Amino acid sequence: MSAATARTPRSYLFVPGNRPERFARAFGSGADAVIVDLEDAVAPDQKEAAREALAAWRAEGRAHPAQLVVRINDDASAWFDADLAALRTLGPCTVMLPKAESASQIDRVAAALVPGTRVIALIESARGLLEVDAIAAAPAVERLAFGTLDYALDLGLTDDPRGLLYPASRIALASRAAGLPAPIAGVTAAINDEAALRDDVGLARACGFGAKMCIHPRQVEALHAMLAPTPEQRDWAARVLAAAQAGTGAVQVDGKMVDRPVLLRASAILDYPPASTAG
């Protein structure tokens, strides 16, 4: 297993399932995971072509450092059953289920696919948020993700980011309570706006998220840099651990007591991959 797949992904890059000529670039982008999209990025008359392209690409048996995720169409759509049938031929993989609103949906997907299939539940509606604890506890769930654009549409939110604070916090709490990795934040639609990306990452991190979906390869490296601890944070963490190892009793760093939560935070900072680490 590669380093990228051994650790919890920070970045999930979308690529349209009906654009196989873009697959290689997506998997070479440095993203920790690549989402081959069969849903929103693919027009209805291209759904079958997207499934065939994914199957053909997987049949080539190419080794890629990034984890493969497939976003299928939701279970109320006309394409759901055909998506599941196509995925059964691919072997174990990670599936992203859009419009997740109940644990039974997760169970249905897992039961229809080969053993070992894992599900990323995409919470993007009021109903999904109200059921998020049960969804997070479903056995097949690997991680939760927040579909911010669809959630905002469902509730009629404005562009004010304060409207996302409560649902983001609820999703993070449900993830933690269920023992899941920190959830995945939604996309930043402004591809060339690094300030918008930084604002979105800042809000997500403030709510307890640990990863983000991207819609363009150029967002990946910037995202990794934004998620990574700063040199100043790494220096602080190193000094905390050094002080703890050298001391025989209570120790202080920068005038503050070093207790167990501080030690755990310092260890997590030093364990986090540097920003320059490719996916």
Q: Cβ atoms within 10 A of the Cβ of 244, count?
A: 17
Tokens, residue 55:
């199957």
Distances (CA, A) of 237 to 211, 247, 253: 22, 15, 10
Binding residue numbers for substrate: 71, 124
Four-residue CA torsion sign, 25, 28, 30, 35: positive
**Phi/psi at 252 (5° precision):** -130, 150
Residue 257 contacts residue 250 (beta carbons within 8 Å) = yes
Specify the amino acid at residue 245: Q
CA distance 225 to 30: 12
Specify the amino acid at residue 158: T
DSSP labels for 77-98? STTHHHHHHHHHTT-S-EEEET
∠ CA(183), CA(105), CA(67), 5° rounding? 45
CA distance 14 to 23: 10
Residue 275, exposed/middle/buried by CB under 10 A (0-12, 13-18, 19+)?
A: middle
Q: Cβ atoms within 10 A of the Cβ of 67, count?
A: 21
Binding residue numbers for Mg(2+): 124, 150
CA proximity to 100, closest of 156, 141, 70:
141
Residue 64 contacts residue 76 (beta carbons within 8 Å) = no
